[in-house]
């Protein structure tokens, strides 16, 4: 199956117009030694229906959240994505357009991004947002670069309760940025503001997560204050779905707010593509990486939207650029915008409240010892009294994935499971979870 229009007659006419005998001749500039003299060994061409059968067979070998009752979270959540999101994303005019370099051709996507930026600012309480980062990990690295530019400093401080993947990405790129990473350990699952204060003194940036990776609510205002006291950019990594009920980072003094957009409008999709968001106080607008859309007007004074602050960007400033993003995640951010518009403020609050209520219900129902006795949002860590890996394997045989084996990332939690609850879960499903756990020897409440 190919997607070309040229017929033999077309080809002949075109070669004649070019003035060559064969297509081969067009490749004369390629030295013989570097030409491939055999067909690519990548399997035969498939027709659409063969491809469909092949791919459905592959898909059938995955156990998606519709095929087992899953309490996995750990950064990616099974909130319901309404069909209207797909309807918008499948509009060819959005789907098959690229970066809106030519604003007159692209008012649709430009206005949508402007609306998205507004939504992110509203969620986070910030002044400015970019048009999207790659995901919730890379926006943290982006934030570090912003901080370096803004402060001239090089130390990055991260809380140990920040998502491990986020910390890993920061560590990968910090050396290239000329920065170093310091980690602040947790105490009983939480970050101590005073430890953060001293670590962040003289640092470029301090990043913490709310709710943190363990599902716990940090004393975010205290952390923000402690982080910024010594001049570092206080940066909260936040879950968009919490922001209907949890305070906006901009309201407790953060300079930057970042996060993973997946829970807000993107499918799980085995980890991507999703969008990361990055918002800042006005002071840092000119240091932000990524596309940014601004309002302007046309010859007739009509309102319109364009990519702006381009002097930050690679295509203008090249090696001096402060933004090195070209392709970004606009389509996923558009999904986020449609989803948040579908929710509205009350819907967002309800999703938060109901996920929270179900999680609290599950805590009560299971009655298992909590690994950390602190308030949580929609995810918590329990001790099962058995190696988590075994509990998972055995529950899965009963059609239940009971949660994330958090011992993978933190010491001393090998018997612990982190369980996530979204508005899609039901009390009946929590009952099934309790039954499965009980059946595999975990001592849940009767």
Partner 1 sequence: MKLIYEKSQASRRASSIPDPGVENGTEIPAALRRSEPPHLPELAEPELLRHFTELSTRNFGIDTGFYPLGSCTMKYNPRVNERLVGLPGFRDLHPYQDDADAQGALELMWRLQEILAEIVGLDAVTLQPAAGSQGELTGLTLISAYFKDRGEYEQRREIVIPDTAHGTNPASVTMAGYTVRKVNVDSRGNIDVDDLREKVGPQTAGLMLTNPSTLGLFEERIEEVASIFHDAGALLYYDGANLNAVCGISRPGDMGFDVLHFNLHKTFSQPHGGGGPGAGSVAVRDILEPYLPAPVVVRDGDMYRLDHDRPKSIGRVRGFGGPFGVFVRAYAFIRMWGPGLREMSETAVLNANYMLAKLRDHYDLPYDRHCMHEFVVSARSLKREHGATALDVAKRLMDYGFHPPTVYFPLVVPEALMIEPTETEAMETLDAFCEAMVEIVKEAEREPDLLKQAPHSRPVSRLDEAGAAKRMVLRHHFDED
Ligand X SMILES: Cc1ncc(COP(=O)(O)O)c(C=O)c1O
Q: Find out whether 381 and 370 touch, Cβ atoms under 8 Å.
A: yes
19 binding a copy of itself? (CB under 8 A): no
Rounded Cα gap, residues 348 and 394, in angstroms: 35
Collapse the DSSP code of 91 into the 3-class scheme (helix H, G, I; strand E, B; otherwise coil) and give the result: coil
Nearest to 209 by CA among 167, 147, 177, 269: 167
186 binding partner 1? (CB under 8 A): no
- Kindly identify the residues of this chain, within the stretch 115-154, that bind a copy of itself according to CB under 8 A: none
Q: Which stretch binds partner 1 (CB under 8 A): 149-157, 199-207, 224-232, 307-315?
A: 307-315
Q: Which structure tokens are listed for 234?
A: 């206080």
Q: Which stretch binds partner 1 (CB under 8 A): 96-104, 191-199, 223-231, 431-439?
A: 96-104
- Kindly identify the residues of this chain, within the stretch 309-328, that bind ligand X according to CB under 6 A: 326-327
- Do the strands 256-260 and 276-280 form a parallel or antiparallel pair, or are they unpaired? antiparallel
Q: How far is the CB of 326 from ligand X (least distance, A)?
A: 3
HEC string of 309-352 equals CHHHEHHHHHHHCCECCCCCCHHHHHHHHHHHHHHHHHHHHHHH
- Binding residues for a copy of itself, rule CB under 8 A, total 14
431 binding a copy of itself? (CB under 8 A): no
46 binding a copy of itself? (CB under 8 A): no
Binding mask 127-146 for ligand X (x = CB under 6 A): --------------------
219 binding partner 1? (CB under 8 A): yes
Nearer to a copy of itself, 9 or 32 (CB): 9
Q: What angle do CA 423, 131, 303 make, to 5 degrees?
A: 110
Which member of 149, 229, 285, 444 binds partner 1 (CB under 8 A)? Answer: 285
373 binding a copy of itself? (CB under 8 A): no
Rounded Cα gap, residues 417 and 401, in angstroms: 10
Nearest to 236 by CA among 189, 219, 245: 219
Q: How far is the CB of 134 from ligand X (least distance, A)?
A: 10
Nearest to 165 by CA among 190, 201, 140, 130: 140
Q: Which stretch binds partner 1 (CB under 8 A): 161-169, 196-204, 225-233, 431-439?
A: 161-169
Four-point Cα dihedral 99, 105, 109, 114, nearest 10: 100
Nearer to ligand X, 242 or 323 (CB): 323
Binding-site ranges for ligand X (CB under 6 A): 326-327
Point out which residues bind a copy of itself (CB under 8 A): 48-49, 52-53, 56, 66, 80, 82-83, 87, 90, 92, 423-424
């Amino acid at each position: 199956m190919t997607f070309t229009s040229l017929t033999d007659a077309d080809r002949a006419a075109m070669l004649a117009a070019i003035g060559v005998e064969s297509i081969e001749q067009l490749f004369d500039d390629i030295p013989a030694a570097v030409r491939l003299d055999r067909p690519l060994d990548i399997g035969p061409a498939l027709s659409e229906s063969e491809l469909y059968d092949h791919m459905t067979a592959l898909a059938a070998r995955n156990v998606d959240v519709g095929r087992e009752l899953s309490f996995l979270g750990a950064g990616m959540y099974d909130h319901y994505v309404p069909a209207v999101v797909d309807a918008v994303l499948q509009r060819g005019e959005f789907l098959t357009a690229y970066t809106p370099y030519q604003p007159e051709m692209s008012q649709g996507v430009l206005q949508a991004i402007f609306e998205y930026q507004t939504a992110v600012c509203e969620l986070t309480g910030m002044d400015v947002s970019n048009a999207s980062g790659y995901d919730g990990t890379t926006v943290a690295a982006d934030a570090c670069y912003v901080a370096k530019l803004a402060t001239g400093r090089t130390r990055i401080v991260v809380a140990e309760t920040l998502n491990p993947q986020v910390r890993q990405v920061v560590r990968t790129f910090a050396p290239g940025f000329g920065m170093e990473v310091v980690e602040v350990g947790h105490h009983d699952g939480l970050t101590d503001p005073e430890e953060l204060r001293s670590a962040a003194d003289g640092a470029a940036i301090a990043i913490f997560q709310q709710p943190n990776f363990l599902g716990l609510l940090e004393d975010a205002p205290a952390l923000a204050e402690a982080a910024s006291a010594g001049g570092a950019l206080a940066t909260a990594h936040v879950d968009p779905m919490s922001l209907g009920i949890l305070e906006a980072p901009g309201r407790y003094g953060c300079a930057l707010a970042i996060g993973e957009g997946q829970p807000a409008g993107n499918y799980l999709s085995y980890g991507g593509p999703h969008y990361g968001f990055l918002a800042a106080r006005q002071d840092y607008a000119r240091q932000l990486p990524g596309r940014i859309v601004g309002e302007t007007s046309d010859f007739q004074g009509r309102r319109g939207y364009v990519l702006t602050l381009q002097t930050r960007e690679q295509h203008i400033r090249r090696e001096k650029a402060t933004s090195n993003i070209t392709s970004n995640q606009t389509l996923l951010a558009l999904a986020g915008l449609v989803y948040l518009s579908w929710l509205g403020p009350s819907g967002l609050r309800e999703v938060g409240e109901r996920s929270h209520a179900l999680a609290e219900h599950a805590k009560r129902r299971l009655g298992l010892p909590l690994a950390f006795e602190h308030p949580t949002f929609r995810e918590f860590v329990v001790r099962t009294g058995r190696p988590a890996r075994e509990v998972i394997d055995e529950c899965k045989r009963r059609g239940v994935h009971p949660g994330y084996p958090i011992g993978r990332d933190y010491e001393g939690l090998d018997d612990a499971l982190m369980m996530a609850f979204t508005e899609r879960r039901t009390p009946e499903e929590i009952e099934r979870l309790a039954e499965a756990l009980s059946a595999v020897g975990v001592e849940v409440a009767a």
